[in-house]
Amino acid sequence: MKNISAALAILFFVGCFWACQPKVNEARFMSYNVKNGFGMDDSTAYARTASVILKENPDVVAIQELDSVTGRSHGVYVLGELAKETNMYDTYAPAIDYDGGKYGIGILSKKKPVQVYRRALPGREEARTMLLVEFPNYVYVCMHLSLTEEDALASLPIIREETARFQKPVFIAGDWNVTPNMPFIKDIQQEFTLLTDTTQFTFPADTPNCTIDYIAARKVGAELVEYAAHVTEAPVESDHRPVVVDVTWK
């Protein structure tokens, strides 16, 4: 009887020990400026764009340059087409009215979001926006920042304000239109850890010579265990190559 009691006590202790350990989460994140599915060969093919995403099999994708029922897209809701091709949920955020419809950014995700937020960002050449999509154990943010460096820097207080509201981990991604040596990247790293490898170039897709696409994690709210990044080999499907990060966190 004593041996049985001791064994039960050990099992109880081990069970409590593991139950008290922080839960480890993992996900594959992707960011892709798809240029409406218009490739370097001057042809549009949504199935081809979707094939790049399917090859990487991400849990969530931040997507930039998306028309919604514009004349340019012949009335097609581009993110919806990509969602059908990839069998993912689509969440859209228009930034401007354009050619009879909308133009903006979006997120594709394997799981349905529990909440969605949108916030305008500065952009003097065109209005910009950020899309925050909340899931049970993290928040994923898509941003397509201004081509004007001053407007990109002016976006920082808004990014800080919007992401600080969450107690759970926050990951930000997108085409930020800034290179690694610009002030925006230095400033954003005060609150965020860059997960992508800035030495792996993303633009232009056929002969990339610079990095302007990123994924980063907010330092508060997540304890990063490990992460590994790569740039997808996609030289024709868009004018950008996608970035992908596998992340494990507590």
CB within 8 Å of 167: residues ≥ 6 apart: 221
- pLDDT for res 131: 98
Whole-number Å distance between alpha carbons of 201 and 214:
10
What count of Cα atoms within 13 Å lies in the side-chain half-sphere of residue 239? 9
Chunked mean pLDDT (size 10), the chain, 250 residues: 54 46 88 98 97 98 98 97 98 98 98 98 96 98 97 98 97 98 97 97 98 98 95 98 98
Whole-number Å distance between alpha carbons of 17 and 63:
41
- For residue 237, give both structure tokens: 């499907």
- pLDDT for res 23: 82
- pLDDT for res 1: 56
Is residue 184 within 8 Å of 153, Cβ to Cβ?
A: yes
Q: What is the pTM of this model?
A: 0.91
Q: Which domains does the chain have, with CATH numbers?
A: 25-249 (3.60.10.10)
- pLDDT for res 222: 85
- pLDDT for res 17: 43
- Beta strand 101-109 with 243-249: parallel, antiparallel or unpaired? unpaired
Neighbours of 22 (CB within 10 A): 9
| Element holding 160 (H helix, E strand) | helix 149-164
- pLDDT for res 6: 54
- For residue 59, give both structure tokens: 């849990």
- For residue 104, give both structure tokens: 């903006």
- pLDDT for res 19: 44
- pLDDT for res 16: 45
Whole-number Å distance between alpha carbons of 194 and 250:
17
Condensed to tens digits (0 to 9), the pLDDT of residues 42-51 reads 999 999 999 9
- Beta strand 89-98 with 213-218: parallel, antiparallel or unpaired? unpaired
- pLDDT for res 18: 41
